[in-house]
Chains A and B, each alone.
Chain A
Amino acid sequence: MKLHPILAALRKHKAGTVLISLQIALTLAIVCNAIFIIGQRIERVNRPTGLNESNLLLVTQQWVGAPNADTADGVEKLDAMQREDLAALRNLPGVVSVTPTNSLPLLNSSWTGSVSHKPGAQLGGKDNTRTAYYFIGDQAMDTFGLKLVAGRAFTAGDVQHQGFRDQPPRPIAIITKALAQKLFPDGSAVGKVMYSDGSNAPTTIIGVVERMQTPATGSWGNDFAWYSTLIPTRLDANFARYAVRTRPGQLDSVMRAVTPLLYKVNPLRVLDDDSVKSFGEIRAKAYRADVGMAILMGVICLVLIAVTAAGIVGLTSFWVGQRHRQIGVRRALGARKIDILHYFQVENLLIAGIGVLLGIALAIGLNLWLMTRYEMTRLPVLYVLVGVLAMLVIGQAAVFVPARRASNVPPVSATRAA
Chain B
Amino acid sequence: MFAYYLELALRSLKRSPGLTALMVLAIGFGVAASMTSWSVFRAVSGDPIPWKSSKLFVPQIDMWGPNGRSPDGEPPNAMDYTDAVALMRDHRAKRQSAMYQISPSIVPTDASKHPLNVSGHAVYGEFFPMLDVPFQYGRGWSSSDDANRAQVVVISSKLNQKLFGGVDSVGRIVNVEGRDYRVVGVLDHWNPQPRFYDVVNSGGFSTTDADVFLPFQTAIQADITNDGNTNCNAVPDEPGFVGLQHSPCAWIAFMAELDDAAAVTAYRAYLDGYAKDQQSAGRFRWAPNNRLRDVPAWLENQHVVPSDTKVSLLVALGLLLVCLVNTVGLLLAKFLRRSSEIGVRRALGAPRAAIYTQFLVEAGIVGAAGGVLGLLLTGAGVASVGWVLPRDIASLARIDVSLLVLTLLVAVVATMLAGLYPTYRASRVQPAWQLKSN
Contacts and interface: CB of A to CB of B under 8 A. Distances in A.
A57 to B, nearest CB: 19
Contacts, number: 175
Given A307-B322, A318-B337, A125 B425 contact: no
Contact of B33 (A20, A300, A319): A300
Q: Is the interface of A mostly helix, strand, loop or mixed?
A: helix
Contacts of A373: 307, 310
A299 B241 CA distance: 50
B117 A16 contact: no
B178 A64 contact: yes
Nearest to B311: A374
A322 B329 CA distance: 15
B325 A23 contact: yes
Nearest to B325: A23
A293 B312 contact: yes
Interface residues of A, number: 68
A20 B322 CA distance: 10
Contact of A68 (B223, B318, B330): B223
Given A263-B114, A374-B307, A166 B240 contact: yes
Contact of B29 (A22, A263, A303, A315): A303
A102 B178 CA distance: 24
Given A68-B223, A70-B241, A269-B115, A300 B332 contact: no
Given A23-B326, A62-B105, A300-B33, A267 B315 contact: no
Given A167-B236, A270-B117, A37 B311 contact: yes
Contact of A64 (B22, B107, B421): B107
A158 B225 CA distance: 29
A300 to B, nearest CB: 5
Nearest to A69: B240
A144 B68 CA distance: 34
A268 B234 contact: no
Contacts of A374: 307, 310-311
Contacts of B178: 64-65
Contact of A270 (B116, B240, B322): B116
Interface residues of B, number: 64
A186 to B, nearest CB: 28
B30 A198 contact: no
A165 B243 contact: yes
Contact of A122 (B22, B30, B234, B328): B234
B124 to A, nearest CB: 24
Interface in A83-131: 122-125
Contacts of A307: 25-26, 29-30, 319, 322-323, 326
Interface in B234-272: 234-236, 239-244
Nearest to B393: A289
A296 to B, nearest CB: 6
A417 B177 CA distance: 93
B19 interface: yes
B240 A314 contact: no
Interface in A275-317: 288-289, 291-293, 295-297, 299-300, 303-304, 307-308, 310-311, 313-315, 317
24 contacts: A26-B321, A26-B322, A30-B322, A65-B177, A70-B223, A70-B239, A123-B235, A125-B67, A165-B225, A166-B240, A268-B115, A270-B116, A289-B390, A292-B388, A293-B308, A293-B311, A300-B33, A303-B29, A314-B22, A317-B19, A318-B333, A319-B333, A321-B337, A322-B337
Ranked 5 nearest A-B pairs via Cβ: A70-B240, A292-B388, A318-B333, A65-B178, A19-B329
Given A293-B311, A307-B322, A418-B437, 10 more contacts: A26-B325, A30-B315, A165-B239, A165-B243, A271-B114, A307-B25, A307-B323, A308-B322, A319-B333, A374-B307
